[in-house]
Amino acid sequence: MMMHDAKLPYLLQGANQTAILLFLHGRGEGYRNNGRESHDNLKNQGPPKHFEAISSETPAHPLATSLLLIAPQLPDRDAPWNSVLGEVKNIIEKYREHGAHLYVMGFSKGGRAVFDFARPLNASAAVTIDAPPMGRDARTAAVHAKSSIGNVPFWSIYASYSDNHGIRLFHEHLNVPNHDDISLLPASSRQWRSQVCYPNLKEVTRHSAIADEVTKGEAAYRWLLQH
C-alpha cells in the first residue's frame, strides 16, 4: 500500500509484525527516472518487487511472517538519501511501537545510504546489497562508511564483477569484524559464504540481479532477525 500521509511517499507492506524492515532503493527507483514518473518505479528492485509473490508462494518466509516492510521513495533518481533522513525517521516512529526492532536494508545507492542511516535510526542490524563508493575512492569511502555505521552489526553482500570494479574494492576495504556474522574471515571467504547463501551469485552477476537473488532468499532476513 502506497502511503501519502507524509512529505515522503512510502510503500507499506505486511501487518501486525513486531519488527520493521526499512528498505532504501537504488538510483533507478526514484519517482522520476529517465522521464518516467511513477510510484511503481519503487517496485523495480528489492523487497517491494517481490513481497507479494513471496507472501503468496512462500508464506513461511521471514519477510512475510516477521517484518513490516517500509520502503520510502525519493522524488527523483538523483535526490540524495541524506536529504530525507528526517522524513524517514518520522515515518519509522509512526510504526515503531513498544521498542520494536528496526532493520535497515538497501540496494546500490540505497545500500550506501544504509551506512549513514543505521546509527541515527537506532537500527538493530543492517544489510547492504552491492553498495557503491558514491563519489569517493574505494578506500576513503570504506573508512567513512565504517565510521558512520559505528557498532551497528552489518552484512555487506556484493557480487565481484568486472564492470563495477569500484564496488568490489569498496567491499574489500570493509574488512572489519562486524562486516559479517562470521567474523575475521578474509574477503575471499566472505564472498564464498555469500555464494553459499545465494548460490546463483556468480562472478559475472549483474548489478540488478543480485538485488533479486538476495530479496527472494531467506538468509539476509534471518541474519537480521538474529540481532
CATH assignment at residue 98: 3.40.50.1820
Q: In what order do the strands lie in the sheet with 101-107?
A: 2-3, 10-13, 67-72, 19-24, 101-107, 125-129, 154-157
User: For the chain, what percent of residues have pLDDT higher than 70?
Assistant: 82
Report CA-CA distances (Å) from 135 to 11, 67, 109. Answer: 28, 33, 11
Domain that holds residue 74: 2-225
Whether the Cβ atoms of residue 85 and residue 120 lie closer than 8 Å to each other: yes
Kindly tell me if the per-residue pLDDT of 106 is higher than 90. yes
- Which range, of 7-21, 75-89, 134-148, 200-214, averages the lowest pLDDT? 200-214
Q: What is the mean pLDDT of residues 20-44?
A: 91
Kindly tell me if the per-residue pLDDT of 220 is higher than 50. yes
Kindly tell me if the per-residue pLDDT of 219 is higher than 70. yes
Report the number of distinct structural domains present in the chain: 1
2 vs 131, which has greater pLDDT? Answer: 131
Kindly tell me if the per-residue pLDDT of 77 is higher than 50. yes
pLDDT of 97:
80
pLDDT of 7:
83
pLDDT digit string, tens, across residues 147-199: 999 989 888 887 755 456 788 788 878 865 434 433 334 555 556 566 666 66
Predicted model pTM? 0.89
Helix H or strand E encompassing 81? none
